[in-house]
Amino acid sequence: MNYRLIIFLILSFFLIGCQQTSDKSKKIEILPINKYSNSGFALIYDNNLTNLKKLDDRSLDIYHKSLKKKSIVKIINPANGKYLIANVKSNKMKFSNFYNSVLSLRIAEELELNFDEPFINLILLSKNSTFVAKKAKMFEEERSVAEKAPVDGIQINDLNNKKPKKKIVKNKKFLYSIKIADFYYEDTAVTIIKRIKKETSLNNLRIIELSKSKYRVLIGPFNDIKSLKESFEKIDFLNFENLEILKNV
């Protein structure tokens, strides 16, 4: 009786192992991401967004859909290289997936974002990172100096110094693409494109060979934010993980 039980268990483990191997062979080989990062458009909070819980204008807080509450993130404005450290206040707010986060007004102003085109890079940081501690301390010192200085004087100086930069940003051509994912094999990338064409009305898809083992699937480019958002919402329906928006690719 014991021998039958042993034989049964051995056969069971063998069959389970075969099934797992078979399942793995069916998986799409997407290149792994070491840590969370995303490039895309942010939504700048204002009081007209009545469906969202109020986000304090002067805070360094953001809303995010997938990062845990109290996560520490680095937010970068790629147009000028400015960045700061922010805190995820909540991941339970409902807003369009087209936006990778909701930012406070202060964050948008500190980074000098173009409010008509608030494109950012967002990177998750470790709370134990010395970088986080150093930048947080530096930011608090800068804020202390700014709070003690005359507000009017700061505004006048900033406006005089930053006008040329703002004009340059606004005159740049709008050119963005949607990044689906990076794949090990070109055949896999081709298969993904076929699936997207079959399940959506999107046709402006392309593959970029970044290396012999890295193939990127993109949709676009788009010349206006309306068509970009419409296409993003169509592809978002297919539940790809961590869709990104890339500029000038």
Q: Give the integer Cα–Cα distance in Å for 179 and 85.
A: 25
Q: Strand, helix or coil at 96?
A: coil
pLDDT score recorded for residue 241 = 87
pLDDT score recorded for residue 21 = 41
The full DSSP string for 144-160 is HHHHHS-HHHHHHHHHH
Domain residue limits, the chain: 37-171, 176-247
The two tokens of residue 28 are: 């799409």
Tell whether the torsion through CA atoms of 24, 30, 36 and 38 is positive or negative.
negative
List residues bridging with 102 in a β-sheet.
Answer: 43, 63
| Domain 37-171, second-level architecture | Beta Barrel (2.40)
**pLDDT tens-digit series, residues 118-168:** 999 999 997 665 445 455 454 455 444 444 444 333 333 343 444 444 433
Report the 10 Å Cβ neighbour count for 174. Answer: 14
CATH fold of 176-247: Alpha-Beta Plaits (3.30.70)
Tens of pLDDT along the chain (249 residues)? Answer: 555 544 444 445 444 444 444 444 445 555 555 688 999 999 999 999 989 999 999 999 999 999 999 999 999 999 999 999 999 999 999 999 999 999 999 999 999 999 999 999 999 997 665 445 455 454 455 444 444 444 333 333 343 444 444 433 445 688 999 999 999 999 999 999 999 999 999 999 999 999 999 999 999 999 999 999 999 999 998 989 899 999 998
